[in-house]
């Protein structure tokens, strides 16, 4: 199972919006609505930000939103803040009954 | 409060074995799917294995199939990952995570335990 494809890095200024894409195939993202996104700060465990494509767990800011179209999922962060600077990973269920992560995207807040 | 605490990591030689533990509190293992996810130094996340709430459904990534075994002890509310025939490329921080059945939400995650495979 190949990793989902994410851009290696994205950047934005405080207050701006950014979108991170996550491209898979018809056997993972395209087949299931089990797409989730995780935020990871250096030296810390990942934190769930979005699950089942567009659902936000309790306690996660509504500046974070998710969507999906075909084989590509997206995470949008609006009103960028300094504390959003982190690595972000997408994840999807696959037709092999396994789970696959994206390679990760480093978000830099300028 | 839901909490996961991993232990058992350490330094092991190639070809060796190690057993990781993930002690769960604040919920019952039989109600959730438990997974192991690893992260090699400076690299991304890789799903390793999962076990269903009933224990009857177990899955592995191709990279560890035949070498790793996931299991659990309900009486101790603990999940294990038995790793054998370890390779240098298995070096990583190993996290356990809880997931609700019927949903793709790995949440929460433990703090992780570092496994180093080196001679």
Confidence label for A1 from pLDDT (cuts 50, 70 and 90): confident
Residue to mutate among A66, A99, A101, A105, with most B CBs inside 10 A, is: A99
**Average per-residue pLDDT for chain B:** 96
Give me the torsion for CA of A39, A61, A54, B57, rounded to 10°: 50
Average pLDDT on B59-79 reads 97
Does the pLDDT at position B101 exceed 90?
no
> Are residues A28 and A100 in contact, defined by beta-carbon separation less than 8 angstroms?
yes
Min Cα–Cα distance to chain A from B42, Å:
10
CA-based nearest residue to A29, from A87, A103, A100? A100
Query: Is residue A47 less than 8 Å (CB to CB) from chain B?
Result: yes
b/e per residue, A27-53, with b = 16+ CB within 10 A? bbbbebbbbbbbbbeeeebbbbbbbbb
| Cα–Cα distances in angstroms (integers) from residue B54 to residues A91, B19, B34, B68, B101, in the given order | 24, 22, 11, 20, 11
Chain B residue with minimal CA distance to A29? B104
B29 backbone dihedrals φ, ψ, rounded to 5°? -55, -30
Average pLDDT on A69-77 reads 98
For A5-57, write each residue's pLDDT tens digit. Answer: 999 999 999 999 999 999 999 999 999 999 999 999 999 999 999 999 999 99
CB contact under 8 A, A91 and B103: no
């Amino acid at each position: 199972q190949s990793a989902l494809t994410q851009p290696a890095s994205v950047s934005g200024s405080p207050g701006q919006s950014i979108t991170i894409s996550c491209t898979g195939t018809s056997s993972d993202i395209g087949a299931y609505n089990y797409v989730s996104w995780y935020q990871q700060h250096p030296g810390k465990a990942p934190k769930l930000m979005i699950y089942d494509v567009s659902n936000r767990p309790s306690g996660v800011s509504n500046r974070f939103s998710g969507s999906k179209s075909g084989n590509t999922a997206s995470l949008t962060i609006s009103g960028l803040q300094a504390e959003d600077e982190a690595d972000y990973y997408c994840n999807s269920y696959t037709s092999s009954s396994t789970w696959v992560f994206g390679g990760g995207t480093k978000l830099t807040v300028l | 409060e839901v909490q996961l605490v991993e232990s058992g990591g350490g330094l092991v030689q190639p070809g060796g074995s190690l057993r990781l533990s993930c002690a769960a509190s604040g919920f019952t293992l039989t109600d959730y799917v438990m997974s192991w996810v690893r992260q090699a130094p400076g690299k991304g996340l890789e799903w390793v294995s999962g076990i269903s709430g009933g224990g009857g459904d177990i899955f592995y990534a191709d990279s560890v199939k035949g070498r790793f075994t996931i299991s659990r002890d309900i009486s101790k509310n603990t999940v294990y990952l038995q790793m054998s025939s370890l390779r240098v490329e298995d070096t990583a921080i190993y996290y356990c995570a809880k997931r609700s059945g019927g949903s793709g939400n790995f949440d929460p995650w433990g703090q992780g335990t570092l496994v180093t495979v080196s001679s």
